[in-house]
Structure 1
Amino acid sequence: MENVLIVSNSSGTMAIISDLLRSESFGKITLSQSASEARRCLSEFDFDLIIIDAPLPDEKGDDLSMTAAEKSSAGIILIVDSVDAYETAATVEEYGVFTVPKPVSPEFFYHAVKLLNASRKRVQFLENENQKLQKKIEEIRLVDRAKLILIQVLKMTEPQAQRYIEKQSMDLRQTRLVTAENILRTYER
């Protein structure tokens, strides 16, 4: 993880968390002492990890964690008093916020960060796969539109249109997508 935002009204807590993260070679660490300051940081920078030590001077912290979850793809850890942990977890869980009760041992915190990092990497992998599939679907749609144009305008059969697109792609050393786009530009009006 590269960029980390730590939000806490306690300088001591920020120092402890910063030291733990620096020992694990995290990149840039940004510190914020209020929810409003953290919101400004969220609008200006992208973060990979956001750690919120609740309560904050201007709010409880759960609203900030939910806002951060909606506006970024960062992993979010919300540290709350153990009395409020279950209730807060039930509120923020659907946003993908990981709730940790106070007091937090360094080992538990380290494992929470590692777990969050692993799950974030998995989600990023799935998002990348989704983008690849979306591109593939778009390519199939364009190729099918190009085949339909060839069938309508040049009176080809579907297999002939398919073969024509494949042959053009091979002969011109371009992708089927580029060939389909060229056909659409040529025949669609």
Structure 2
Amino acid sequence: MERILLVSATEKSRTMLSQFLTSCGVQAQLAPASSGAEARRMLVDGSFDLILVNTPLPDEFGHDMAQQAANDTLSGVILLAKAEIADSVAEKVEDDGVFVVPKPLSRVLFMQALRMTRAARSRLTGLQSENRRLQKRIEDIRQVDRAKCLLIECCGMTEPEAHSYIEQQAMNQRRSKRDIAEDIIGEKTP
């Protein structure tokens, strides 16, 4: 189930937004916050799929909190602002990936923003996992290269010989090249 941080100044507005979400068919676990500071604390303590900010908030307008949330988390962020100022607010926050929806809310426009936010979040999540995979691969290559250097220094091997040795050991022992490299590093370093 989706987790939504609902940031709005009053209990009445949070209840209305909760009912609006339900009427749009959104089934989610809602976490209410009544100020930007409270929302920031909640973001430190947990993760959310969507952050919905109803401006203005009692301690700030809300766009700074929305920008910070968009930059610091993988959550989708939708900012609700009065129609008269929605365009100027959007100019400030769009580069950070915050969607601005004008109030009063239109079901069609809100659902479109919600779908776009979900799509952007899904893409970010995929990119983050790809980034983790590539970082691990880079670290594996570094370890293997370090082991090759040790074999060249300590055992007088050439680079191709060291490379072949590590590959052969990995195949023979049915282990990864990184595991073999770590064994070599452990043995050859004082």
When normalised by structure 2's length, the TM-score is 0.90
Counterpart CA distance in 1 for 2:182 and 2:144 is 8
CA displacement at 1:107 relative to structure 2: 2.0
Structure-1 residue corresponding to 2:156: 155
CA RMSD of aligned residues (A): 1.7
Q: String of CA shifts for 1:91-110, please: whole Å, max 9, x gaps.
A: 12222211111122112111
CA displacement at 1:25 relative to structure 2: 2.5
Structure-1 residue corresponding to 2:8: 8
CA displacement at 1:38 relative to structure 2: 1.9
Q: Secondary structure at the match of 1:65?
A: helix
Q: Secondary structure at the match of 1:59?
A: coil
Counterpart CA distance in 2 for 1:37 and 1:157 is 61
Q: Secondary structure at the match of 1:3?
A: strand
Counterpart CA distance in 1 for 2:62 and 2:124 is 24
Q: String of CA shifts for 1:13-56, please: whole Å, max 9, x gaps.
A: 42343234443332x21112222322232232221110001011
The one-letter code of the counterpart of 1:32 is A
Q: Which moved more, 1:15-24 or 1:110-119?
A: 15-24
Is 1:64–2:65 an aligned residue pair?
Answer: yes
Q: Which moved more, 1:117-126 or 1:82-91?
A: 82-91
The 5-angstrom pairing of residues 99-114 of structure 1 reads 99-114=100-115
Structure-2 residue corresponding to 1:17: 17
Counterpart CA distance in 1 for 2:81 and 2:20 is 18
When normalised by structure 1's length, the TM-score is 0.91
Structure-2 residue corresponding to 1:164: 165
Unaligned 5+ residue runs, structure 2?
A: none
Over 4 Å off, 4+ runs: none
Is contact 2:74-2:124 (8 Å) kept?
A: no
Counterpart CA distance in 1 for 2:7 and 2:154 is 63
Unaligned 5+ residue runs, structure 1?
A: none
Q: String of CA shifts for 1:112-138, please: whole Å, max 9, x gaps.
A: 111101111011101111111111111
The one-letter code of the counterpart of 1:25 is Q
Instruction: Count how many residue pairs are aligned between Structure 1 and Structure 2.
Output: 188
Counterpart CA distance in 1 for 2:147 and 2:62 is 53
Is contact 2:80-2:101 (8 Å) kept?
A: yes
Q: Percent identity?
A: 41
Counterpart CA distance in 2 for 1:92 and 1:18 is 24
Counterpart CA distance in 2 for 1:40 and 1:151 is 53
CA displacement at 1:12 relative to structure 2: 4.5
Q: Which moved more, 1:176-185 or 1:66-75?
A: 66-75
